[in-house]
Amino acid sequence: MLQHEVTGSERDRSLFQQELSKRELHAHKAFLEDDKVLPPVFEPLVEMEVKNEKIARSFAHVEDLHVLQTKSRTSDPPRDKRVAVMFSGGPAAGGHNVLFGIQDALGKHNTLLGAKGGPGGFLQGDLFEIEDLSKVKNQGGFDFLGTDRTKIKNKGLLEQARRVCWKHKLDAVIIVGGDDSNTNAAILAEYLYQDGISVIGVPKTMDGDLQAGEYLPIPFGFDTATKVYGELVGNLLRDTTSSKKYWHVVRLMGRDASHVTLEVALQTKPQVALISEEIQHRRRTLQGIVDEMAHGIIKRASHGKPYGLILIPEGLLEFIPELKGMMDDVSTVMKKDAKILLDRNLEYRRKHIQKHLKGKSRKVYSGLPYRVQEMMTLSRDDHGNLRVSQIPTEELIVEMLIERINKLAPGLPLKTVTHFFGYEGRCGPPSVFDAWLGYNLGLTAGSLVLDGRTGYMSAFGDFDKGGRPYAVPLVGLVDIEERSGNKEFVIKKTKVTMADKAFRYFCSRRTSWLEHDCGANPGPRQYEGKTANQLPITVALNKGYKGPFFKL
């Protein structure tokens, strides 16, 4: 029997995955009538403002800037709509539940098509009709459709997208993605407006940096990722108090914002957690950060505690003003001398950069370990930015800590273990919260299509009251930012602020965490019992919810 079950898991996935796919999803009451999904219609709630005239001119056709709320449908929903959906960008837990929600909203009398391989596959017209989603319900990853990072924003690609819509007789396109993907949705909605083709965005990102106030306190994917990291960090904290001799230094995914690090810190109470936005706000230097941590380590050791854990956000280095300026100068040299540096090894690149940097940037660069200098000469992303995940920031911190402690407290042993938790959090089976949120965002997106809306991002808020669907105009979120030397339309990322209630609470507790062994292990994701419906702590604190749970 056991051999049969093991063999069966090769075909039908593990027993856990099979059982999870059988679970019922809970729809918001606005979508239900006699236990059947009935897609609502939408009405204006409040009006948003466009950031400037250039944005207003460029998105002139998508006129309605009202945040929308739902009201009950009084007539049968439209029929015979053909709707395409695609995943865009990195995976996030809950994506398959979005598909399930869209399909439920569209019902049996409309057709849902999936784009294989993300926007790139869509542009090639690689679409298929989605029928049975039962095996991917409540499953992690984006593997049912696949994904990529193609940006549909220049005239040629926009026209190619239009031809695909015509060929497949599409009435609507739904893009499930992060800030860049939803920016593309806004641009595509404007381009296809006169064709009568609706474009709707669905917000996802494990980084938690795509938000829209009370209408979207957090996108799907964040809760699962932070619960995965929370369990891993909690395990390491238990290791520190067991062996009583190691400092674990953990870098967590989250380049442009520290929501992940803050959430995991609140879940686990480590001895030290760095928040990039605070460091930038206080204009801290790298050496100053290391000095403060070194004094804390020495103080703990003097009290018989030569162990602990440090959390570092992935994008830390870019938030330190002196390093940010240096990294920008490195990028400038690399762009200017791209032909010279092409196919050269890291040592050649390192020496070339060091030779051509000037002033403070050269001094800062030269003071870094050789390995980190080399990492800073690696290839850039599509926006011309350094891929910071390639830089072992945790190892840089350890090297500097050892050097500093040797000067401040000679002979004090510092045993360190470094970790980077990134991809581990992207594709796990969704938490109950992410399964619930993804499904309802999908229901909202499908309902927006049937209501004839375009240029909107589906949203969901009021988690403590059972949830409420909203629609946020994408143009109201668009700003202009310089990328690779060009002014581009972008949806601005939401970062941790010094006024956030979650950050202020963290500040009030971190001294105690450093002095004492307060570490907590939140354990694995739960699907039954009291903790199954637990909200992200940062969301609960920032929104002033009275309890830590959301209502199904």
Q: Residue 68 domain-assigned?
A: no
Full residue range of the structural domain in which residue 164 is found:
2-37+80-221+430-483
- Shared-domain flag, residues 379 and 441: no
Residue 530 maps to a domain: yes
**CATH number, residue 276:** 3.40.50.460
3-state DSSP call for residue 249? Answer: strand
Instruction: Tell me which amino acid residue 195 is.
Output: D
> Looking at the structure, do residues 404 and 455 belong to the same domain, yes or no?
no
| Backbone angle region of 23, left / alpha / beta, with phi > 0 → left and psi within -120 to 50 → alpha | beta
Same domain, 318 and 347: yes
Is the domain of 381 the same as that of 399?
yes
Domain contains 120: yes
pLDDT at res. 551: 83
Terminal-to-terminal C-alpha distance of the chain: 37
Classify the phi-psi angles of 499: left when phi > 0, otherwise alpha if psi is within -120 to 50, otherwise beta: alpha
Question: pLDDT tens-digit profile of 3-38?
Answer: 777 777 777 678 888 888 988 877 887 788 877 888
Q: Scan for tokens 């229901």, then name that residue.
A: 443
3-state secondary structure 318-354: HHCHHHHHHHHHHHHHHHHCHHHHCCCCHHHHHHHHH
Q: Amino acid identity of 411?
A: G
Q: Mean pLDDT of successive 10-residue segments in the chain (552 residues)?
A: 73 83 82 85 94 90 87 93 98 97 96 98 98 94 96 95 98 97 96 97 97 97 98 98 97 94 98 98 94 97 97 93 87 86 87 91 87 77 63 89 94 95 94 97 98 97 94 95 83 97 98 97 93 96 93 80
How confident is the prediction for the chain on average, in pLDDT? 93
In a domain, 548, yes or no: no
Question: 3-state DSSP: the chain helix, strand, coil percent, rounded to 5?
Answer: 45, 15, 35
Dig out the tokens for 379 from the structure. Answer: 């290839």
Same domain for 94 and 198, yes or no, is yes
195 is catalytic: no
Residues 145 and 278 in one domain: no
3-class state of residue 68 by DSSP: strand
pLDDT at 274: 98
- Residue 65 domain-assigned (yes or no): no
Q: Summarize pLDDT for 403-454 with one digit per residue, the tens.
A: 999 999 999 989 999 999 999 999 999 999 999 999 999 999 999 999 999 9
Same domain, 288 and 211: no
Q: How far apart are alpha carbons 313 and 264 in whole angstroms?
A: 11
Is residue 335 domain-shared with residue 467, that is, in the same domain?
no
Q: Are 281 and 380 within one domain?
A: yes
Residues 6+ apart with CB under 8 A from 7: none
- pLDDT, one tens digit per residue, over 200-222 is 999 999 999 999 999 999 999 99
Do 348 and 465 lie in a common domain?
no
* pLDDT score at 32: 82
CATH number at residue 454: 3.40.50.450
Give φ, ψ of 203 to 5 degrees: -85, 125
Looking at residue 545, its amino acid is: Y
**pLDDT confidence of residue 36:** 82
Set 171, 179, 180, 207: catalytic member: 207
Supply the pLDDT for residue 382: 58
Name, in order, each residue with C-beta under 8 angstroms of 484's C-beta and a sequence gap of 6 or more: 383, 384
Question: Same domain for 363 and 445?
Answer: no
Q: Are 531 and 430 in contact (CB under 8 A)?
A: no
Q: Which residues, at least 6 apart from 63, have a Cβ–Cβ distance to it below 8 Å?
A: none
- Angle between helices 321-336 and 359-366 in degrees, nearest 10: 100
Question: What does the pLDDT read at residue 387?
Answer: 67
Contact 99, 133 (CB under 8 A): yes
Task: Report if residue 57 sits inside a domain.
Answer: no
Measured in whole angstroms, how far is the alpha carbon of residue 365 from the centre of its chain? 30
How many residues in the chain?
Answer: 552
Beta-carbon neighbour count of residue 43 at 10 Å? 11
Dist. CA 335–CA 351, nearest whole Å: 16
pLDDT recorded at residue 342 = 82
- Whether residues 138 and 170 fall in one domain: yes
Does a structural domain hold residue 237? yes
Instruction: Say if 177 falls within a structural domain.
Output: yes
The reported pLDDT for the residue numbered 343 is: 84
CA 189 → CA 93, 197, 365, 453, 469, distances in Å? Answer: 26, 8, 44, 10, 21
Number of domains in the chain: 2
